[in-house]
Chain A
Amino acid sequence: MKALAIKTDNMSNRAPLLFTALFLLAAYLCWLLLAPHWSVLITEATIYDVERMIALYATLPRMATALLSGAALSLSGCLLQIALKNNLASPTTLGVSAGAHLALVLASLFAPALIAYSRDLVAAIGGLTAAGLVFALVSKRNVSPVTLVLGGLVVSLYFGAAATVLTLLNDRYLASLFIWGAGSLSQQDWSIPLNLIWKLSILIGLAALLVRPLAILSLGDEAAKSLGASPGNVRLWTVALAVGLAVLVTSSVGVIGFIGLAAPTLARLAGARTIMSQLIWSTLIGSALLFLTDNAIQYLAGSLSSLVPTGAVTALLGSPLLLLLLRKTKSLQKPQASLEIIKRASYSRTAMVLLALLPPLLLLGASIVFGRTATGEWDILTAMPASDLVFELRTPRVLSAAAAGCLLAMAGVILQRLSGNEMASPEVVGVSSGAMLGLAFAVFFIASDQLFALILCASVGAFAIMGLIVFMNRKSGFQAERMVLAGIAFSALLDALIGALSATGDLRSLILLRWMSGSTYGASLSSTSVLIISACLLLVSVLALVRWMEALELGAGPARSLGVPVNRARAILFLMAGLMTAAATLSVGPLSFIGLMAPHIARQLGFTRAKGQILISACAGASLMIVADWIGRYGYFPYEIPSGLISALVGTPFLMFLLSRRQNGN
């Protein structure tokens, strides 16, 4: 690796070559698209000609928009990367695009007048809020690149979840926003590209003014200060400019993911070194890259091209890139050796069991008893008409929520303890996304709704991601941020995939979307029994393996000397966590964050030993999920809000809190 790095240093700048190659390829596709109409384009129109109008007012402006958006996003990404000295920074990975998107969704629902006044302004407020939130989360100086991006992706995740809730609650009216949310470059006239071009040229002009200060900054903060530059101010203005660029694009064409990450990376890899050349070549390469992608989409999708969201495609291609980059980025922080020490609780055994079982049992009862009548009034079960039937309907949902919460919590404990990473959990490291991908596969390719087939596919998906995580971390150890970031990249991939599928209007994607957001709606007696039985069996078997778990935490050497078959023990425990996740994802979707929150609640209560933590987390997870499910059932009565989304809305801020505490506290 080192040798390679030195070699590239000595190489001349090949970015122009890369740009030319990309651009020529794109231009060739452009020629293929336009050639049939060339003759009508160059002659003056005498009669109405549809093809001419389409070429002039749909195809050409679309191409111009692709070029401009690609340039703006890449310049934005490059500015962010230089200002933050972070090769992973980009509008996507810092949550700027997601913030702008959510602001537009919110405004179109609750304050349409604002949108009519200025779409750009609304988007800018959203983008700036997101960026501000990210920087507030990880405000420590010299923050590791991975951590900053982690903050950004968590914010993205949160805003994405919120936007999904709104979309689900208002689906018919947001149908257009949904297409738009995935970023569609399709055009009707020149207004968007013409609008973009003057706004962008102002911002690009401003960026040119920043080249010199940024070059000084690249000498190091101390050197910059001695030259009379204020590093803080330069950074602030650069980030503001970058946000401005990204927000303009989001407000005009939607979220186009990962171009702003890919282009600066490519420019650097191709050998662009100085600030000036990085900025110029990133912009040009990004422009050509989006142009190429979009032309390829138009060419391949034919008459459907206007419906395939380009943003979903770029995200699909871009999120694996993030994973690759991650492997090469060094984390500035050392992996934390151990979790913080919390005073161990000294409750008696009976008190502990009572404490653990009381809340979930009480909540279980309460959420079965309290509900709403057909007209929406609150009432208790026994007073309702057809109460026996309602009881039969409610119970499996409550029970499967409890079982799923319990399973996720246990999986979270296993992952956190084995990786020594307090931010690990099936949702965060991507195991849940794996299970969901497995389910998507089952729905689309096997077309089966047999419970067994679904569980099998979900498990295979979960195991695959689990294996990948172990593989990727085999050398570096389980570095907290790296692991979490990889997981979030998987989630982004999944989102993009489902977004692209939904845009095709396939009914099955609607099923997937609901599944993604996680609801116990489909819980039946048989699926609930399967869940409860697996929760009990897995709980018992994990408790039986507690000794292994605690020995493994000491490290491979000591564990071996304690007589633990290290590799086998690890494999078995990971396998169990995968099974737990797969079973739970079936009923509450991939985004609940219960597996993250529950183990922490147990630790905060003082249960730091494996056995206690597992028991208490399982109970906490069950309680949380029961509450989320109850809110989901009655919060927007008689409509349903998926419980997975509700717990995600609680869970992501919790993840943000953990993140900020890691950075700013202890």
Chain B
Amino acid sequence: MSIDRRHLIKAMAGVPIWASFPAFADSPVKIVSLDYAAAETLIMLNAPPVGLQARDHWHRWVVEPALPDSVINIGQDLVVNMEVIASLKPDLIITTPYTDTLRPQLQRLAPVHKISVYDQSGAPLKNAYRETLKLGQLAKRADEAKAFLQAADREFDTIKQSLSQHKVPPVSLVSFMDQRHVRVYGKSGLYQTVLDRLGIENAWTRPTNYWGFATVGLEELARHAPPDMHLIIFEPVLDEVKPTLAKSPIWRSMPVVEKENVTIFPPVLPFGMVPSALRFARLIRQYLQGNMS
């Protein structure tokens, strides 16, 4: 509701029609994103989206990079507000396989590009690199995209190197759904590929779904936990979860809990792209180094 945003909208209203065709325009490409992952990448490429789904929940799921104030909320991802998108007059709309069911309606508003980071291939980080380059082209930030990916590669290498000096334990990565159920991240998820990249072992080797997680009861987690594992819990954790866990014998008697090898990470988008992968890599290095030394 800031004054700035209002001015921005007014300014947008004044843009002539021909400017909405990227080919003729020199102005920045106006992109609406139905996906947090694309948005975080665009922000890193210095081409933040003009509209984003559920922008008011960003701080709860993504946190970093910070979202510019100018970004307009376009509603929830599966029922985005078409009127808001239309009045933003975007040059491009980004969807994912998840939100691509809206394509027929979106196509009437602007060209639609689908980014698929999560697909059958099960290599989200590799896909994220590919899609970052593509986003760079579409946002006229091709050079920035290449530079960003090179920097990311360097950072991954540095982190891997700094970790290789220690004996790194296997980790399990979970989000709490409620007091009794967790999402545990594994095969074909983003975190898994980051672990692979850094040479860390994931303790959860059981099947996961398309998105790379499995929803299981705590007892299932306990059943498949190697004794030396470390458990990483991602925020947000609902308020009622912590007191229940504190009482639960299953939880308390899990070796990982008894040895106090449990930690809570701030939110990291589990279905993100390279920026989330980097954020996760930094957090896990910080944690493991703190623990190993």
Cα separation A519 to B72 with both chains bound (whole Å): 23
Minimum CB–CB distance from B238 to chain A (whole Å) comes to: 6
**Residues of A152-181 whose CB lies within 8 A of B:** 172-173, 175-176, 179-180
Q: Is A54 touching B250 in the complex (CB atoms < 8 A)?
A: yes
**Residues of B33-59 whose CB lies within 8 A of A:** 51, 57
Question: Given A112, A179, A374, A639, which contacts B177 in the complex, CB threshold below 8 Å?
Answer: A179
**Residues of B73-110 whose CB lies within 8 A of A:** 73-76, 78-79, 81-84, 86-89, 98, 104-105, 108-109
Q: Quick check: which of A196-204, A354-362, A387-395, A551-559 contacts chain B, the rest being far away?
A: A387-395
Q: Which residue of A lies closest to B81 (CB)?
A: A638
Q: Is B228 an interface residue (CB 8 A)?
A: no
Q: Quick check: which of B155-163, B211-219, B268-276 contacts chain A, the rest being far away?
A: B211-219
Q: Is A176 touching B74 in the complex (CB atoms < 8 A)?
A: no
Given A173-B238, A374-B88, A640 and B76 contact (CB-CB distance below 8 Å)? yes
Minimum CB–CB distance from B61 to chain A (whole Å) comes to: 8
Question: Given B6, B181, B219, B223, which contacts A179 in the complex, CB threshold below 8 Å?
Answer: B181
**Residues of A473-524 whose CB lies within 8 A of B:** 505, 507, 510, 514, 519, 521, 524
Q: Is B22 an interface residue (CB 8 A)?
A: no
Q: Is B1 touching A376 in the complex (CB atoms < 8 A)?
A: yes
Q: Is A375 touching B72 in the complex (CB atoms < 8 A)?
A: yes
Given A175-B177, A389-B109, A519 and B79 contact (CB-CB distance below 8 Å)? yes
Question: Given B9, B88, B178, which contacts A176 in the complex, CB threshold below 8 Å?
Answer: B178
Q: Is A386 an interface residue (CB 8 A)?
A: yes
Q: Is B179 an interface residue (CB 8 A)?
A: yes
Q: Is B19 an interface residue (CB 8 A)?
A: no
Q: A189, A514, A521, A638 — which one has the most chain B CB atoms within 10 A of its CB?
A: A638
Q: Is B222 touching A373 in the complex (CB atoms < 8 A)?
A: no
Q: Is A50 an interface residue (CB 8 A)?
A: yes
Cα separation A393 to B108 with both chains bound (whole Å): 9
Q: Is A53 touching B177 in the complex (CB atoms < 8 A)?
A: no
Q: Is A303 touching B220 in the complex (CB atoms < 8 A)?
A: yes
Q: Is A306 an interface residue (CB 8 A)?
A: yes
Cα separation A191 to B246 with both chains bound (whole Å): 12
Q: Is A393 touching B238 in the complex (CB atoms < 8 A)?
A: no
Question: Given A505, A507, A639, which contacts B215 in the complex, CB threshold below 8 Å?
Answer: A505
Chain B 235-271 per-residue mask, 1 if CB under 8 angstroms from chain A, else 0: 0001110001101111101010000000000000000
Question: Which residues of chain A have C-beta atoms less than 8 A from B244's C-beta?
Answer: 188
Chain B 1-16 per-residue mask, 1 if CB under 8 angstroms from chain A, else 0: 1000110010011000
Chain A 363-390 per-residue mask, 1 if CB under 8 angstroms from chain B, else 0: 0000000011111110000001110011
Q: Is A176 touching B51 in the complex (CB atoms < 8 A)?
A: no
Cα separation A656 to B216 with both chains bound (whole Å): 42
Q: Is B218 touching A307 in the complex (CB atoms < 8 A)?
A: no
Chain A 279-307 per-residue mask, 1 if CB under 8 angstroms from chain B, else 0: 00000000000000000000000010011
Cα separation A136 to B194 with both chains bound (whole Å): 61
Cα separation A282 to B76 with both chains bound (whole Å): 47
Q: Is A445 an interface residue (CB 8 A)?
A: no
* Contact sample, A vs B, 21 pairs, CB 8 Å cutoff: A50-B219, A50-B225, A53-B249, A176-B240, A188-B180, A188-B218, A188-B245, A188-B247, A188-B251, A306-B219, A374-B51, A376-B1, A385-B13, A389-B87, A389-B109, A390-B83, A390-B86, A390-B87, A519-B79, A521-B79, A639-B75
8 closest Cβ pairs, A-B complex: A176-B178, A306-B217, A188-B248, A638-B81, A385-B13, A638-B75, A389-B86, A54-B219
